[in-house]
Amino acid sequence: MKNKLILASASPRRLDLLKQIGITPDKILPADIDETPLKGELPHDLAQRLACEKAAVIAKKNPDNFILAADTVVGAGRKILDKAEDESYARHCLESLSGRRHHVYGGIALITPAGKTVHRLIDTLVQFKRLTPSEIDQYLHLGQWRGKAGGYAIQGHAESYIKFIRGSYSNVVGLSLYDTMRMLEGAGFKTDA
């Protein structure tokens, strides 16, 4: 019998990424959790904690399935750059990232049908060119920042601002495909691909 895989995420980008490697979840059940950082919590700790909490919430109601959850957090030093919900915050993010390197942390959690939890933290280093005020205005006008951690989507116009990247590109989009596939294979999940 084929393994059942539940994706604990509402992100269309994560679903698209999984399809790129031949994985179509049997169900998509976004986990409704409080994503507020804990006092003093660092960006990488937040990414890992949220992925694990999302997986655990969905696993409680769906035993005997593989549960895959992920979270992406942009960190500028020790500072967490949240999902941009309005233009002024998106501008703040872009100004903060302009001309400097930042980390995109991807937390991935997988719970097996036996209830075992496996998790990984992926760290991708990204550097933006120094952005001019008109480039920031242009990007904000495009609207590709909406709902994106750090106020940008690498798979759009922002890619033209990326001077340097070290690590997983797909992690910056929303899910490291290399790490996800290794975790699934290691846990005994059989793919159709």
Specify the CATH number of the domain 5-186. Answer: 3.90.950.10
pLDDT digits (tens, 9 = 90+) for 11-47: 999 999 999 999 999 999 999 999 999 999 999 999 9
Query: pTM for this one?
Result: 0.94
pLDDT tens sequence across 141-184 = 999 999 999 999 999 999 999 999 999 999 999 999 999 999 99
Q: Give the integer Cα–Cα distance in Å for 75 and 95.
A: 14
Closest CA to 114 of 67, 179, 58: 67
Distance between CA atoms of 164 and 144, rounded to whole angstroms? 20
The residues that are catalytic are 71
Q: What angle do CA 81, 20, 76 make, to 5 degrees?
A: 15
41 touches 71 (CB < 8 A) = no
